[in-house]
Amino acid sequence: MATARTPRGSWIAAGLRALTAGGVEAVRIESLAQALGVTRGGFYWHFADRQALLEDMLDVWEQDVTTAVIEKVEAGGGDARTRLWRLFAVAATGDGLLTDIHTDFAVRDWSRRDPAVAQRLRRVDNRRMDYLRRLFGAFCPDPDEVEVRCTLCFTVWIGNRLLTVDHGGRSPAEVMELIQRRLLE
């Protein structure tokens, strides 16, 4: 009788969950097998070693936070402002994506210790900024203003999750909406 193998994607998803929860050090084959309720042996059907899993995790993360997001935003159509609103919503909710802002933070932390991951993160951030530039540039003719709006948008998206401040009776979501409205003026 043949035994069913744990799908490659399950190992990658478990690896991303471990990365998000405990950093790259938490991505251990034995721990992932335990989390999946399988033996370590199934891992080697899909990956040569831990490094191969880590590379595949980065590939999935990169695709999830760039290509998948852009495709989701573009699929809805509309003008640049409409697509920016959709992008804000996808970024806020994760809307069907495998990874979230916490995974992004984990990759950023990992990149501080691994030059290859830092290079990958730079590529991802540049792709995100290029997309923002294209959208903001569609209605904002001043390249300096486009760069300011893109940088503010991106840094607010990341930094807002790190703040623990009171907003004068406003919720963080209300403040984000105010920021987004201002960026789209």
Two tokens at 157? 């998206």
Q: Is 167 helix (H, G, I), strand (E, B) or coil?
A: strand
Biggest CA–CA distance in the chain, Å, is 67
Contact, 128 vs 65, CB < 8 A?
A: yes
Contact, 60 vs 28, CB < 8 A?
A: no
Q: So where are the chain's domains?
A: 8-57, 66-183
Contact, 91 vs 176, CB < 8 A?
A: no
Token look-up 């210790």 returns 113
- Write the CA distances from 32 to 15, 35, 64, 105, integer angstroms: 7, 5, 21, 20
Same topology between domain 8-57 and domain 66-183:
no
Pick the CATH number of 66-183 from 1.10.357, 1.10.3110, 3.10.20, 1.10.3470: 1.10.357
| Listed residue (183, 182, 180, 17) closest to 91, CA to CA | 180
Distance between CA atoms of 182 and 180, rounded to whole angstroms?
Answer: 5
Pick the CATH number of 8-57 from 3.40.50.2300, 3.40.980.10, 1.10.10.60, 1.20.58.1690: 1.10.10.60
Q: What is the pTM of this model?
A: 0.90
pLDDT, tens digit only, all 185 positions of the chain: 445 578 999 999 999 999 999 999 999 999 999 999 998 888 998 999 999 999 999 999 999 999 999 999 999 999 999 999 999 999 888 776 677 888 999 999 999 999 999 999 999 999 999 999 999 999 999 999 999 999 999 999 888 888 888 889 999 889 989 999 999 99
DSSP 12-49: HHHHHHHHHHH-GGG--HHHHHHHHTS-GGGHHHH-SS
| Listed residue (46, 59, 63, 41) closest to 11, CA to CA | 46
